[in-house]
Amino acid sequence: MHGNDTPQNTGGPPYQCIVVKPGTTYYYGAVFKASSPDTALTDQALSILYYTDANCKTYLTGGPYTQIATPPVTWTPIASSVLIPAGVGSVQILLDIDEADLDQVYFNPISASF
């Protein structure tokens, strides 16, 4: 999975369901920046939502949450990894980024890169 998003309030896109294998480590991240120094809002996040099925219909609590304290005004990477627990069949990346640009979103079991 990869992509980009540049709206004024992402609030969740790209909404792509990704089938995962429990017991496997996946790498995820993106590059981002505030749209301008005046719009560098705090308390934004990149998180992974867990689902018990393969088509992201049955939500399961407990996915990782990566806090973005203050988005920078230059392109900056944010990255993490997650070991998928038993009972998880699919995931979605939730991008809660306000007044910011986001690009090179990735989620894969191979490497921490786009």
Average pLDDT of the segment spanning 9-15: 53
Each residue of 20-63: pLDDT tens digit? 999 999 999 888 887 766 655 566 778 899 999 999 999 999 99
Residue-wise pLDDT for 69-97, tens only, equals 766 778 888 889 999 999 999 999 887 76
Confirm if 42 and 113 have CB atoms less than 8 A apart.
no
Where residue 9 falls among pLDDT bands split at 50, 70, 90? Answer: very low
**pTM to 2 decimal places:** 0.79
DSSP letter string over 13-60? TT---EE--TT-EEEEEEEEEESSGGG--SSEEEEEEEESSTTS-SEE
Whether 34 and 72 have beta carbons less than 8 Å apart is answered as yes
Provide the 3-class DSSP secondary structure of residue 82. Answer: strand
Of 28, 16, 44, 29, which is closest to residue 100 (Cα–Cα)? 44
